[in-house]
Structure 1
Amino acid sequence: MNRSVLAIGGHIGDMDLTAGPTLAKLVGEGASATIVALTYGERGHPRLSPAEYKTQKLAEGEAFATAIGADFIALDHSDGFLPDTDEVALELASIIREKQPDTLITHWKHSIHRDHEYAAKLAERARFLAGLPMDHELPRHSVRTFLHAENWEDMEGFQPTTYVPIPDDAFYRWVGAIRHQAFARGETYGFRYIDYYTALMTMRGCLAGYPRACAFMDPRGPEVTKLAGP
């Protein structure tokens, strides 16, 4: 079983939606989980200013993580302006060294959103840097499993290889946590995120032989594997 999982999203809320049910499941099985947002996602509200929405997003991200039993980290980068640099990758590498995850989850590398694409590249670069011997106060760490989460904005070329069964308790913990985020409720632009991802879990569960499942892509190849579960 995976004992530690790190989920890296482009904005606060990205991994909550896509990896949140899986994180809730794994935490329920005794694993530790950390959600990292590379930007605040503060430019995504049509009525609130970026400064106002940043404050709200930070509170929402912290509350979600607490509700499912995960840690939450937000890096100080701005929505829409995430830099694809070694400096940011090193920030992530330090978190990897600290948290020592068995599994890293991030966006798929092809997206309609540049911050998502950069998040995928930065996560992969950080994974490499975390395993290098460096002059660092934390020991180096090699991440065993690297997965891309399924996201409706990141579907170009996405092919599921890994299905995670989501039991009822994890699903309802996720629903209870995610419904407190404004964008997930459809408050920002009207997209019914909770309905979409609930239906997606049902569809993936049909294909994988479970009532509900989350799908991930392992870039190493097409073999279907399981991250956890029976």
Structure 2
Amino acid sequence: MHRTVLAVGGHIGDMDLTAGPALAKLIDDGDRAILLACTYGERGHPHLSPSEYRIQKIREGEQFAADIGAEFRVLDYSDGFLPDNDEAANQIADIIRAEKPDTVITHWRKSIHRDHERAAILVERARFLASLPVDSPLGRHGVKQILHADNWEDAEGFSPDLYIPIPAAAFQRWRAAIEKQAFARGETYGFRYLDYYTAMMTAKGCLASTDRACGFAVAGSRSSELAGP
């Protein structure tokens, strides 16, 4: 039975980087993946204006999703200004009602980025709202599981309890896709994202007795249906 996975990030590129390898693997397994960014992430370039970088970020998000076989969505919020309210949560809840994901992946609850923290809060609220019997043509849907992705910017208190093995084909497809994003190449603030996340997958692979793996914290549970065979 094929599953639908919704990955919700604070900015375009967040889930591409952290959950992207696992999404590529799941897509290879026949599952469906949707990347949803809560903001454009347009204020993160030292040389481009926010309006210029916004256009580039949308293009990069769309291209990444296409390259790994996922779908792409972005909410109309500006980088650094993601609200923590029911209006934003209901927008995510409507996507949950419409697309009926089995699993939602998002940020850890603690982060150096407020948009990351608020994305995690909004996902929890959206999960609850989507499960309610409300007057909506989309009906209601209960998300079985929420996973928190491993992100160096969300490290406080994060401890993975689920490891998803990343086969070579999925890794290579992710790597080729993420290299097309400026921030991942280190063109914004110089952090070596590609080296860091590649090394982290190798380290997690050692813990999972495989070549590479992505680590996730399972919300409210110590087991997962995503791990698979």
| Band the TM-score falls in, shorter-chain normalisation | over 0.9
Unaligned runs of 5+ in 1: none
Verify: 1:164 aligned to 2:164, yes or no: yes
Residue pair 2:8, 2:106 contacting (<8 A) in 1 also = yes
Deviation at 1:21, TM superposition (A): 0.3
Verify: 1:94 aligned to 2:76, yes or no: no
Deviation at 1:225, TM superposition (A): 4.7
Q: Which residue of 2 aligns with 1:38?
A: 38
Q: Which residue of 1 aligns with 2:130?
A: 130
Provide the rounded CA distance (Å) in 2 between the counterparts of 1:2 and 1:217.
Answer: 22
SS in 1 for 2:25: helix
SS in 2 for 1:148: strand
Deviation at 1:226, TM superposition (A): 6.2
SS in 2 for 1:34: strand
Provide the rounded CA distance (Å) in 2 between the counterparts of 1:172 and 1:195.
Answer: 14
Q: Which residue of 1 aligns with 2:199?
A: 199
Deviation at 1:186, TM superposition (A): 0.4
Query: Could you say what the CA RMSD is over the residues aligned between the two structures, in angstroms?
Result: 1.1
Superposed counterparts of 1:60-139, under 5 Å: 60-139=60-139
Q: Which residue of 2 aligns with 1:227?
A: 226
Provide the rounded CA distance (Å) in 2 between the counterparts of 1:5 and 1:219.
Answer: 15
**Which TM-score applies when normalising by structure 1?**
0.97
Residue pair 2:2, 2:30 contacting (<8 A) in 1 also = no
Residue pair 1:165, 1:229 contacting (<8 A) in 2 also = no
Superposed counterparts of 1:2-13, under 5 Å: 3-13=3-13
Any idea what the Cα deviations from partners look like across 1:170-215, whole Å, max 9, x if unmatched? Answer: 0000001000000000011111101100000000010111110000
Deviation at 1:224, TM superposition (A): 5.5
- Number of residue-to-residue matches in the alignment: 229
Residue pair 1:2, 1:102 contacting (<8 A) in 2 also = no
Deviation at 1:220, TM superposition (A): 1.3
Provide the rounded CA distance (Å) in 1 between the counterparts of 2:49 and 2:58.
Answer: 14
Deviation at 1:2, TM superposition (A): 5.6
Provide the rounded CA distance (Å) in 1 between the counterparts of 2:25 and 2:10.
Answer: 22
Residue pair 1:164, 1:226 contacting (<8 A) in 2 also = no
SS in 1 for 2:152: coil
Q: Which residue of 1 aligns with 2:25?
A: 25
Any idea what the Cα deviations from partners look like across 1:117-164, whole Å, max 9, x if unmatched? Answer: 000000010011000011111020001011100000001010111100
Whichever residue aligns with residue 228 of structure 1, its letter is A
Whichever residue aligns with residue 154 of structure 2, its letter is D
Counterparts in 2 of 1:196 and 1:78: CA distance versus 1, 3 Å: same
Provide the rounded CA distance (Å) in 2 between the counterparts of 1:144 and 1:224.
Answer: 12
Whichever residue aligns with residue 201 of structure 1, its letter is M
Deviation at 1:64, TM superposition (A): 0.1
Deviation at 1:227, TM superposition (A): 2.0
Structure 1 segments of 4+ aligned residues over 6 angstroms from their partners = none
Any idea what the Cα deviations from partners look like across 1:60-80, whole Å, max 9, x if unmatched? Answer: 000000000100001000000
Q: Which residue of 2 aligns with 1:209?
A: 209
Residue pair 1:43, 1:79 contacting (<8 A) in 2 also = yes
Provide the rounded CA distance (Å) in 2 between the counterparts of 1:229 and 1:130.
Answer: 26
